[in-house]
Structure 1
Amino acid sequence: MAIAIRDRGYQDSTVADVVRHARTSRRTFYEHFSSKQDCFIALLTERNKETIQKIDAAVDTHAPWRTQVRQAVEAWIRSAQEDTSITLSWIRVVPALGEDARHVQRDAGDEFITLIQKLTSTPEFAAAGAHPPSRQLATIMLGGFRELIATTVEDGNDIADIIDVTAEAAIALLGPRG
């Protein structure tokens, strides 16, 4: 599925494309997935789990809190860069796919929010007077950063170029309140 999306985009990809790239049969495909959309959702679910694991692993919870924020942002951007076609499909295509995809999107958002709250619960954050963000604030961060990634990719720019502004925004949103 990932190769089909890279080659043709989700909308123009077919089960035949997926089967051809996987070097398998339609029968085998349908033993695992009920549809192209089901396969796409499985791919995105796996990618989100991998991304969350990479971000979590990249953060040194003993580093200064601002460094932790930067590490998380850099890991997220690196993960998004691995396959910008999938990243963009996740952000742009999923919202139009209906109820099943909406559940996956909500679940992934919940997992990212949980990660943000976990990563901001370190002693370094507390010592600086910073606290884990509310669910609403974490949702705003997640949505804003996803939109910035999507527009950067759509404009043909390198998403590594948004690391500084994304880290700066996260630090401003997560930092101590005065």
Structure 2
Amino acid sequence: MTTQQLLRTGDPYRQRLLDGLGESIAEIGYRNTTVADVVRRARTSRRTFYEHFGSLGECLIALLNEANVAMIRGIEAAVSPDAPWHVQVRQAIEAWIEHAESAPWIVVSWIRDIPTLGIPARALQREMMDAFVRMVQVLTATDAWRAIRPDGVDRGLALILLGGLRELIATTVEEGGRPADILDVSVQAAIALLGPPPAPRP
């Protein structure tokens, strides 16, 4: 199931507005999008828009929040805890790429547009990054992972991995590439970061 399919829940008018914003961002970018663009694509009115969202930025925050929740669910569902750890890494990265392929503008907007929205958006960034860190820690808390990392994956390591992957995919999409282009290098990076830690120096 794609990110867009997972997003289709709840209030139909709210969902139409979120879809309308997503379509506009995909076509002309968030910074060129107006409320008028969103309501035209959603086939609704400005009044309906403001009944659901206080501003275009608030609508973007809601859209990205739901997209990231859907992505986390998809990644968790794709990973088999009984598989070898390096296979689990590939399963997780493939699921991440699949969701990014369905709406690559999500990753770009998360990195490029959210920081322009101020304190509420910064709170969302922290909240969602924490959610991704928890996902990594939960996925690596199985017997297969304990065999190579008895102490688990700490927050700092997870943040380095997640931040690097997001910047890589955003840069790739901005330069005209596809998320799938970075599948192999992303798997290699994740295996290198999350694999057995180096032996302590004598």
Same fold (TM over 0.5): yes
CA contact (8 A) 1:120 1:131 kept: no
Q: Shift in Å at residue 103 of structure 1?
A: 0.7
Q: Shift in Å at residue 165 of structure 1?
A: 1.1
Aligned 1:1-178 pairs, distance under 5 A: 1-129=21-149, 131-177=151-197, 178=199
Q: Look up the equivalent residue of 1:144 and give its one-letter code.
A: G
Q: Shift in Å at residue 129 of structure 1?
A: 4.2
CA contact (8 A) 1:58 1:75 kept: yes
Distance 1:13 1:63, change over 3 A: same
Inter-partner Cα distance in structure 2 for 1:164 and 1:148: 12
Inter-partner Cα distance in structure 2 for 1:114 and 1:126: 16
Q: TM-score, normalised by structure 2?
A: 0.85
Unpaired runs of at least 5, structure 1: none
Q: Shift in Å at residue 87 of structure 1?
A: 2.1
CA contact (8 A) 1:55 1:75 kept: yes
Deviations 1:35-68 (A, max 9, x none): 0000010000000000000000000011000000
The RMSD of aligned alpha carbons is: 1.1
Q: Percent same amino acid among aligned pairs? A: 54
Q: Give the number of aligned pairs.
A: 178
CA contact (8 A) 2:53 2:59 kept: yes
Q: TM-score, normalised by structure 1?
A: 0.96
Q: Look up the equivalent residue of 1:79 and give its one-letter code.
A: H
Unpaired runs of at least 5, structure 2: 1-20
Q: Shift in Å at residue 74 of structure 1?
A: 0.7
Q: Look up the equivalent residue of 2:84 and give its one-letter code.
A: P
Instruction: Out of 129-138 and 51-60, give the one that drifted further.
Output: 129-138
Q: Secondary structure at the match of 1:121?
A: coil
